[in-house]
Amino acid sequence: MNTIKLNLKKLLLFISLLIVSCGGIPEESTTSSSEKKAFSVADVLIMVAHENDITRTLYTKAIVGGGKKQGFKFDEEWQDEKVEAGPLPALFLRGIANDIRKGDVPLGLYLSSDFPISASNQLVGKQADLFKEIKENRKPQHFFDEDSKLYTAMFADVAGAPACVSCHNNHPKTTKTDWKLGDVMGATTWQYPADSLSYTEAMSVLKAYRDGTTAVYNDYLEEIKNFKETKKPEVGEKWPSSGNYLPAPEVFIDSVRKLSAYVTMSSLMK
Ligand code: HEC
């Protein structure tokens, strides 16, 4: 019975995801306090974390990995006028988090580690303790953070590509030089102020994440417009795997949407 209930919820969220994807949520929609709180905060954070995995993998493999083969550059200082490069994956994620923070949806997103490159990403307090467990069993941790009074979900961030390891091990500011492929390098942490969400609120969370992705991707394309010395890729339907191309924002997001819908559907059919 419980499984059926859970799957129904997932199905609802899945359908909702499709609606968001098609731009079906009216911008002015607000949550009425009488609307039923149909989703637990854990369900919603798992769903948005899943979308984040797909977005980050697609960006890392197809844009950064594929782009490097075409001679595209990616750099920490990508927003510096003199640097003609795109954002590193970690900075792409931070850009999404910043964009979410600017909006009305009270969703927090952080990338952190026990051995970070950037000191501001150091895990501390309860999160540092729970991270020890995540490192051992790689399972997500859901808890209420007493300090911030926020419902929190932490997910393992695994070194899934050789580039993660080589860049972190060799970075001038690294605090650890022996990362290996498959290591849990850190955690992606999500926070939300309520323990349950209405349908509209759950949709707003997913939409805020997707809008954040579009915003950072657009920033990258804006940087490219100002390139003076580097050859600019053609922006449109094609991907770097086929040459000097970058997908347009809607092409990129459409791929995220298709990939996440497929995985969500597979998990529904288990
Ligand atoms: C080309 C270099 C580069 C690559 C490739 C790279 N990172 Fe990073 N990563 C960085 C830098 C630089 C930061 C610090 C960014 C900041 O200022 O927040 C960072 C931040 C992080 C953090 C937050 C903690 C910290 O170290 O500050 C984690 C976790 C992380 N990366 C994991 C990964 C994983 C997993 C991959 C592969 C999927 C990866 N990184 C690929 C350079 C890289």
Distance between Cα 161 and ligand 1 center (Å): 12
Q: Which class for 190: exposed (0-12), middle (13-18), buried (19 or more C-beta within 10 A)?
A: buried
The answer to whether 93 and 111 have CB atoms below 8 angstroms apart is: yes
**Residue 117 tokens, joined:** 């490159």
Q: Name the closest-CA residue to atom 23, ligand 1.
A: 112
The answer to whether 187 and 112 have CB atoms below 8 angstroms apart is: yes
pLDDT of residue 261: 81
Write the pLDDT tens digit of every residue in 200-222. Answer: 999 999 999 999 999 999 999 99
Closest atom of ligand 1 to CA, residue 57: 38
The reply to whether ligand 1 has any atom less than 6 angstroms from the CB of 117 is yes
Residue 9 CA to residue 3 CA, distance in Å, equals 10
Write the pLDDT tens digit of every residue in 93-137. Answer: 999 999 999 999 999 999 999 999 999 999 998 999 999 999 999
Write the pLDDT tens digit of every residue in 123-174. Answer: 998 999 999 999 999 999 999 999 899 999 999 999 987 878 988 999 999 9
pLDDT of residue 17: 62
Residue 50 CA to residue 113 CA, distance in Å, equals 19
pLDDT of residue 183: 96
Residue 126: which residues within 8 A CB-CB, separation 6 or more? 143, 145, 146, 147
The reply to whether ligand 1 has any atom less than 6 angstroms from the CB of 164 is yes
**Residue 263 tokens, joined:** 């995985």
Give, for ligand 1, the residue of 92, 111, 188 to mutate: max count of ligand atoms closer than 8 Å to Cβ. Answer: 111
Over residues 197-202, mean pLDDT:
92
The reply to whether ligand 1 has any atom less than 6 angstroms from the CB of 89 is yes
Q: Name the closest-CA residue to atom 33, ligand 1.
A: 164
Distance between Cα 251 and ligand 1 center (Å): 25
Q: How many CA atoms lie within 13 A of 90 on its CB side?
A: 21
pLDDT at 266 over 80: no
pLDDT of residue 162: 82
Residue 21: which residues within 8 A CB-CB, separation 6 or more? 210, 257, 261
Residue 218 CA to residue 216 CA, distance in Å, equals 5
94 CA to centre of own chain: 9
**268 closest CA partner among 47, 70, 52:** 47
Q: Name the closest-CA residue to atom 32, ligand 1.
A: 185
Distance between Cα 33 and ligand 1 center (Å): 40
pLDDT at 10 over 70: no
First-to-final CA distance of the chain:
15
Write the pLDDT tens digit of every residue in 213-259. Answer: 999 999 999 999 999 988 899 999 999 999 999 999 999 999 998 88
pLDDT of residue 14: 67
The answer to whether 14 and 264 have CB atoms below 8 angstroms apart is: yes
**187 closest CA partner among 162, 152, 211:** 152
**109 closest CA partner among 215, 185, 207, 189:** 189
